[in-house]
Amino acid sequence: MKHCIIAAALGSVAFASAASAQNVGIATSNPGSIFHNIGTAVASAANRAGINATIQPATSPNQYIPFVNSGGVQFGVANLQEVNYAFEGKEWFEGQPNPDLRIVATIMPLVEAIFVRADSDIMTVADLKGRPMVDGYTAQNTILPQLDAIYATAGLSRADMEPVNVPSVVGGADAFIQGQADGFIFGHGAGKVREADAAVGGLRALSVEPTEENLAKAREHWPAAFFYELKAGSMPGVEEDAWYFAYPQVVFANANVSDEEAYAMAKAIYEQTETLKSTFPGFNSFDPAHIADDTGVTPYHPGALKFFEEQGLPAEANG
């Protein structure tokens, strides 16, 4: 029995090491975006663990998720809701399912807000009514329902705003900095938010009221939504303890990525938490115990499942 245990342990080491010499790509969005920050941190953790990983930026997840599905790059980082839509061929992926997507790890939540100038008279989401606000997002379809989810908590919708059309969240932040819009949506902790904070002399992040009614309204537009509390001063624009719109983020892969590579990536993310946090502070909210949380629709990669099983993670969390 003892020899079997030793053999199994050595097998796991070999299983992880087999992927170490491989060169793998991680699809992200453009510099300044939250997913570029997340992907850079994941690549750093992977490299620390012996995986030769490089990031491959594109404009937005709705462009690079299908690229991962087709095998153009092995891994990617995105939000769970969009990966699920892509897997099933729903919403902006309507009629174009991506059946070769697999989840490798559930990571930290993306905590998001609408930001305005700190010296603005806009104090709440409701105060945005009738104001010029970022819209369009022709290269990043995922943002429109997120905007509506946040607006819904104040009884508003995108139709209540004066639209300022932009292609992406980075473009939206630029439009705000240039004075074209009174607010912009972005993930807390992103480099672009810090850039905007410095450019306009300070930001205010508009919070939401964390009621069950508001959560139900938000989930009508973004089913994976939940509310997350940030402490005063923890991020630019967070002036007091407050609640914000949030949703899970994932590392995903092409189904044909080898079990060894997926295992090694899941292991790196689980074990290299300090590298993740030091590379991108947004990972401070990452709890490795939730790496195998329920994905709802998109299945986990078998290689990741093997690693989760070895860690004794709950079976019901494995896809």
* Residue range 108-138, pLDDT digits in tens: 999 999 999 999 999 999 999 999 999 999 9
Q: Is there a single domain that holds both residue 30 and residue 105?
A: yes
pLDDT at 21: 52
* Structural domain boundaries, residue 206: 111-247
Which residues of the chain, if any, have pLDDT below 70? 1-22, 315-319
Q: Is there a single domain that holds both residue 121 and residue 163?
A: yes
Q: Is there a single domain that holds both residue 188 and residue 225?
A: yes
Q: Is there a single domain that holds both residue 116 and residue 89?
A: no
pLDDT at 5: 33
Alpha carbon distance 96, 90 (integer Å)? 8
| Residue from 197, 209, 184, 201 nearest 114 by CA | 184
Contact partners, residue 23, CB within 8 Å, separation at least 6: 52, 53, 54
Interval 84-109: pLDDT, tens: 999 999 999 999 999 999 999 999 99
Q: Is there a single domain that holds both residue 32 and residue 150?
A: no
Global pTM value: 0.79
For the chain, the domain total comes to 2
Check which CATH number belongs to the domain holding 80 and give it. Answer: 3.40.190.10
pLDDT at 4: 40
Q: Is there a single domain that holds both residue 243 and residue 116?
A: yes
Q: Where are the alpha helices (DSSP H) in the chain?
A: 2-17, 34-48, 61-69, 80-88, 143-152, 169-177, 191-200, 212-221, 259-271, 273-279, 302-310
Q: How many CB atoms lie within 10 A of CB 59?
A: 17
